Structures are given as C-alpha cells and as structure tokens.
Amino acid sequence: MVHIPNEPVPSPSAPRSVPTSADVARLAGVSRATVSYVLNNTSAVRISEPTRRRVHEAAKELGYVPHAAARSLRAGHSRMVLIPTPNVPVGPLYNQFFNELQWALSRLEYTVVQYGDLSPHGDEAARAWAELRPVAVLVPGGGLGPQGLAVLKRSGARAVVTLGAERVEGAHAVLLDHEGVGHSAGRHLLARGRRAVGVVVPEEPGLEMFSKPRLEGVRRALQGTGATVTELPLAYEEEAAARLAARWRPLGLDAVFAYNDEYAMLLMRALQDEGIAIPRETAVIGADDLMLGRLLRPRLSTVHIELPSGRDLAELVDRAVRDPGVAPEVHEVLGTRVVQRESS
C-alpha cells in the first residue's frame, strides 16, 4: 500500500511550506526517483528529454532547492570542514590566513563551518564539533587532546589537523614554532651588540599561548651570553605604553622584542615621545611583518613568519580526506626570518 503522509491541506493563500522533491514529482507527474535522477544528472540512467524538461520546469516553478542535510544523511558523509573560532583575540595575520584557507577549501568544494566556541576545554568541545559530522576538522591553538581526537575520529572525521605549538598523536599537525620567533629575534639583537633585552608580553588574556614561547625563545637565544632578559607586561593602549616608556631609562635596556608588530609600533612611538633614540639607545624589533611597520620612522625591524599558504593547507586536508589511512603528516612551519629595517 502506498503510504500517504498526513500532509496538511494547503490553504490557497497560506505561506506554503518548503517544497520537497516529492512536490516536484507530483507537479511533474513522475516519481521522486525520476526527479532525483534528472536533477542530479545521474548518468547511469537515461531519462527521456520531455520528462527531463517537465521535471526542470516543475522544480523551477516551485523554487525547489534540495536539502543538504537530508542528502548527506543518506549519503553517509558530508563535505563540511569545521574550523573552531579561536577564543583569543587573533591578529590580522591569522585573519588573512583564515580567509585564504577558506577560499582554497571552497575551491575544492568543501563547505567551511566556522564554529563559535563556547566551551573552553577542547575535549568537551570536540563532542559538539562531532555532532556536525564534519569530514575534516582544523583546530587552531592547541585546544585538542587525545580524547577529543578520538571522539572526532569515531564520529567519522577523516582528517583532523591541529594548528599550533603542540601536536596530538594521530592527528595531522601544522606546528607553529613561536619559540623560534623569539629565538630569531634574540639572536638578531645579540648580533647587533645588545646585552639587555626587554621582551613585551601582552596583558590581554588568551595570548599567553603565543607570548610565552616567544619569550622563552629569546631566553634561549641569550643563554650563556651574559645578556639579560626582562619581561615587560603591556596592555594594547597608548596610555599603558606611555607609562612603560616613562620608566624606561631606569630599566637600563638597550633593546626590546615586542611580541608582534602592533605592540612594537605602540611601544616604539611611546619611546620616541619620551625622547629615547631608536635604535641608538634602544633597538626595537617586532614580529609578523605587517605592512604598517614600514610606515614608522625608523622603519620597524621584524621577524617575518612564513605561514603555510591557505592553498597548501587546503590540499593537505583534501589529501587526508581522500586517503584517511595515510600516516599523519607533521609540518614544521614558521620558517622565521629576520627582516632588518631601521629600528634595530
């Protein structure tokens, strides 16, 4: 017996509900199967030209749009790549990288879902991510543990890529060597003959993940050289920078590595306003190589960070999705390179 769904009688002017393939079939006078064949251009089945036309016309008339969730439910997989929003204030570098990545993934016909994090602990969050049954998950910033990874894999994720300082066994990893950034900066300042190096550490919460390794990198670079490292907490505000600058001379520093270019610009300006000569009295170097660093005078020296291109990462994801059996790749990135300009 044909099953008749208890459809509500469509009153003529009621806002009719969203049309399904069954509606199209009805209007075209064919079966749902035929509709599917026609609209998906299934090559295994030949449908007569008049029928095709009728189906297309019916679909157009009703404004039919297939239901992606139903489709992937049936198919057993989706092409969704889930990327949790980092719950820390990210800089322009990350935003640019993310946009590039998203674009590249779109080109490969993935749908990118940026998932707004609320639960800070990755292993709980992973459950929420898994509910969406993404084919791949790209986790920035080390919020994933082995537990979380297991949940994701079990729920069908064919590729999990972490993007951060540490790797998780069993997942692909793009290792961001923040320690190396600090190390480059430290070595550079040392080579320029500096012996008392300040390191700006942002006070904004959530950035410790990046700022601590950068600080440690400087420490390592100066180890055993007799040069000193002084930690300098700084909020991203003009007033805070001015206060730090006001007590600068007593600190006895002859160089400063400022976490990134934005903090570097902020501090350098404050130092100049205080009458401190740069680089003569104090050398300044930032990181991230932002365009704007070139606009100050002296031009800001910086540690350029070689992020993987969005395209490369998208291709890594795609490879992993196509062949989930492949051994997890670990990409050491962040080729760091000092760009010496005039401030150091």
Which residues of this protein are in contact with DNA, per CB under 7 A?
1-3, 5-7, 17-18, 20-22, 29-37, 39-40, 42, 44-48, 51, 64-67, 70-71, 73-76
Specify the residue, 74 or 280, whose C-beta has the smaller distance to DNA. 74
Specify the residue, 96 or 223, whose C-beta has the smaller distance to its own copies. 96
Q: 42 touches which of DNA, its own copies, none (CB within 5 to 8 A by kind)?
A: DNA
Smallest separation, CB 230 to its own copies (Å): 23
Q: 20 touches which of DNA, its own copies, none (CB within 5 to 8 A by kind)?
A: DNA
Smallest separation, CB 43 to DNA (Å): 10
Specify the residue, 73 or 330, whose C-beta has the smaller distance to its own copies. 73
Specify the residue, 142 or 156, whose C-beta has the smaller distance to DNA. 156
Specify the residue, 30 or 303, whose C-beta has the smaller distance to DNA. 30
| Nearest residue to 282 (alpha-carbon basis) of 191, 184, 186, 196 | 196
Smallest separation, CB 227 to its own copies (Å): 28
Q: Residue 69 burial (CB < 10 Å; 0-12/13-18/19+)?
A: exposed
Q: 30 touches which of its own copies, DNA, none (CB within 5 to 8 A by kind)?
A: DNA
- Given the structure tokens 């157009």, which residue do they identify? 60
Smallest separation, CB 134 to DNA (Å): 15
The phi, psi pair for 196, rounded to 5°, reads -130, 100
Binding site for its own copies (CB under 8 A): 17-19, 63, 65-70, 72-73, 78, 85, 90, 92, 95, 99, 102-103, 105-107, 111-118, 127, 130-133, 150-151, 154-156, 236, 238, 262, 265-266, 269, 291-292, 294-297
Q: 239 touches which of its own copies, DNA, none (CB within 5 to 8 A by kind)?
A: none
Smallest separation, CB 53 to DNA (Å): 11
Specify the residue, 18 or 330, whose C-beta has the smaller distance to its own copies. 18
Specify the residue, 81 or 338, whose C-beta has the smaller distance to its own copies. 81
DSSP state of 141: S
Q: Which residues of 71-108 are buried (b: 16+ CB within 10 A; e: fewer)?
A: ebeeeeebbbbbbbebbbebbebbeebbebbbebbeee
Specify the residue, 32 or 331, whose C-beta has the smaller distance to DNA. 32
> Cα(81)–Cα(279) distance, rounded to whole angstroms?
46
Q: 63 touches which of DNA, its own copies, none (CB within 5 to 8 A by kind)?
A: its own copies
DSSP string, 87-119: SS---HHHHHHHHHHHHHHHHTTPEEEEE----
Contact partners, residue 277, CB within 8 Å, separation at least 6? none
Smallest separation, CB 224 to its own copies (Å): 36
Q: Which residues of 267-282 are buried (b: 16+ CB within 10 A; e: fewer)?
A: bbbbbbeeebebbeeb
Helices 49-62 & 32-39, crossing angle to 10 degrees? 90
Q: 315 touches which of its own copies, DNA, none (CB within 5 to 8 A by kind)?
A: none
Partnered with residue 330 across adjacent β-strands are 173
Q: 151 touches which of DNA, its own copies, none (CB within 5 to 8 A by kind)?
A: its own copies
Smallest separation, CB 83 to its own copies (Å): 9
Q: 337 touches which of its own copies, DNA, none (CB within 5 to 8 A by kind)?
A: none
Contact partners, residue 90, CB within 8 Å, separation at least 6? none
How far apart, in Å, are the Cα atoms of 218 and each of 178, 189, 194, 249? 10, 10, 12, 21
Specify the residue, 37 or 248, whose C-beta has the smaller distance to DNA. 37
> Cα(135)–Cα(133) distance, rounded to whole angstroms?
6
| Neighbour count for residue 241 (Cβ, 10 Å) | 23
| Neighbour count for residue 291 (Cβ, 10 Å) | 8
Structure tokens given for 3: 């099953």
